[in-house]
Chains A and B, each alone.
Chain A
Amino acid sequence: GAGVSQSPRYKVAKRGQDVALRCDPISGHVSLFWYQQALGQGPEFLTYFQNEAQLDKSGLPSDRFFAERPEGSVSTLKIQRTQQEDSAVYLCASRRLAGGGDTQYFGPGTRLTVL
């Protein structure tokens, strides 16, 4: 079956622009995660959804970052008034179950460059 997909794969934004990044998780997966990966670093947790409920957003770096998953499937990560420090790869992952102990499957990521 299809894996996790993300779009766009690459996004260049001018500082101050708003961007929206999309994630299509594996069908039927309950859990969805967003991570941010800076160049040369490991991914860092941003936010977690269980179905449509956003249960943890402790990793979002500022109130310019907003995520939603209104129907419990596709998710969108929105960044308002982008700054240069937002440049990173944004990774989405889904997991079949709500609880832990299961594999997270990652998408290819969206590389965001803010000029």
Chain B
Amino acid sequence: SQQGEEDPQALSIQEGENATMNCSYKTSINNLQWYRQNSGRGLVHLILIRSNEREKHSGRLRVTLDTSKKSSSLLITASRAADTASYFCATEHNNAGNMLTFGGGTRLMVKP
């Protein structure tokens, strides 16, 4: 079973607009990571935010984490057609191996 839930499941925007994706989880975490997956490809790591951090930036990406609400958001600013992909949040918990537990993903389409 999957830990997190992502919202929305699908998002379609025009190039240049901002895209916001949300992720909720159920149990306490060490950190939360966002990944991108292009159709038929592997997962590309975007950003890692630790449980004691509230916000992190990387280029056009901004991630927030609210541990009291057990939620995170990923904002992509000034989107491009190349940003079209599925985006997954993954939580790392304090257990053997510290494996990742993924949400169901948000499928983002950016129209040129």
Contacts and interface: CB of A to CB of B under 8 A. Distances in A.
Interface of A: 4, 31, 33, 35, 41-45, 48, 50, 55-56, 59, 91, 93, 99-101, 103-109, 111
Contacts of B92: 100-101
B42 A106 contact: yes
Nearest to A43: B102
Contacts of B41: 108-109
Interface of B: 2, 4, 30-31, 33, 35, 40-45, 48, 50, 88, 90, 92, 94-105
Given A100-B30, A101-B92, A103-B48, A56 B104 contact: no
A92 to B, nearest CB: 9
B50 A101 contact: yes
A70 to B, nearest CB: 18
Given A33-B100, A43-B100, A100-B30, 20 more contacts: A31-B97, A33-B99, A35-B100, A35-B102, A41-B2, A41-B104, A42-B90, A42-B103, A43-B102, A48-B96, A56-B99, A59-B99, A93-B100, A100-B98, A101-B98, A105-B45, A106-B35, A106-B45, A109-B41, A109-B42
Contacts, number: 71
B33 to A, nearest CB: 7
A34 to B, nearest CB: 10
A31 B99 CA distance: 10
Nearest to A34: B99
Contact of A106 (B43, B98, B103): B43
